[in-house]
Amino acid sequence: MNIVITGASGGIGAAAVRRFLALGHDVFGIDLAPAAVVHPRYRHFIADIRDAASLPEIPDVGVLFNNAGTQNSGDDIGNNLTGAINVTEKYIADAPSLRSVLFNASASAVSGQEFPLYAASKAGVVGYMKNTAIRLAPRGVTCNALSLGGVLTSSNDPVTSDPASWEKIMAVTPLKKWMTADEVADWVVFLTLENRSMSGQNLLIDNGERDLNPTFVWPEESPLF
Ligand SMILES: NC(=O)c1ccc[n+]([C@@H]2O[C@H](COP(=O)([O-])OP(=O)(O)OC[C@H]3O[C@@H](n4cnc5c(N)ncnc54)[C@H](O)[C@@H]3O)[C@@H](O)[C@H]2O)c1
């Protein structure tokens, strides 16, 4: 199957490229940066997804993983939202073998936290994902989004390499860890190749950060039971 992955040179994108290659698929990566993976079944295109006209022709797309993104870049709306829309409209239009589309949104889309334009761009991605899911459903194509909490990629070096920041992060992370890019690839494969019945959903995968931090306030002397 032909798999298209944007942001294929970054931490999560490259992990997904390697995973699909290991499963025997043909993988087409798009990124501003040069290829992170060299493999006979991998083809890399250097392109800016904000420029729809620069997107390469890729035949018979089976899976599209909209993963490219930036945080606090000055153009998060362009890279994260407009770019994902450009890519999706191009590769879903004439794709008889299309099976699934997956977006890499963010926990920020759900919580509203982090950088303003980043949060707005990722919330926009979730809305656009739902619109796309509606349009693709009659073709039997699933379309979903991942909303990840922290992932151990270089885009988070400012906090993962700073012990004081990392201590603060772990204090509000109930499972006391962040995901690896390989763990994200597990979800990507399941949602794009195995899943057949869930569509239009945004999955929050955040080590319990949003829902497991107790905010129930009650006087200490009153018993809970
Ligand atoms: N790392 C995290 O903690 C985390 C958490 C939630 C969501 N995400 C999302 O996951 C995705 C991947 O994150 P990552 O940590 O692997 O980031 P990364 O910076 O390692 O990789 C992102 C890649 O996207 C590419 N890219 C950016 N703008 C582009 C454009 N206009 N055209 C083409 N390519 C472009 C970059 O060159 C880079 O290779 C992003 O969308 C990010 O917002 C990451």
Strands of the chain (E only): list them: 2-6, 26-31, 42-46, 61-66, 100-104, 142-148, 202-205
**pLDDT reported for residue 90:** 98
Instruction: For residue 138, report the distance from its CA to the centre of ligand 1, in Å.
Output: 30
**Structural domains of the chain, with CATH:** 2-205 (3.40.50.720)
Among 6, 32, 169, 202, say which to mutate for ligand 1: greatest number of ligand atoms within 8 Å of CB: 32
How far apart (Å, rounded) are the C-alpha atoms in residues 209 and 169?
A: 9
pTM for the whole structure: 0.97
pLDDT tens per residue, range 78-115: 999 999 999 999 999 999 999 999 999 999 999 999 99
**pLDDT reported for residue 225:** 79
Q: How many residues does the chain have?
A: 225
pLDDT tens per residue, range 6-55: 999 999 999 999 999 999 999 999 999 999 999 999 999 999 999 999 99
- Ligand 1, residue 151: give the atom nearest the CA: 3
Provide the residue type at 190 as one letter: F
Q: Is 153 in the pocket of ligand 1 (CB under 6 A)?
A: yes
Instruction: For residue 156, report the distance from its CA to the centre of ligand 1, in Å.
Output: 11
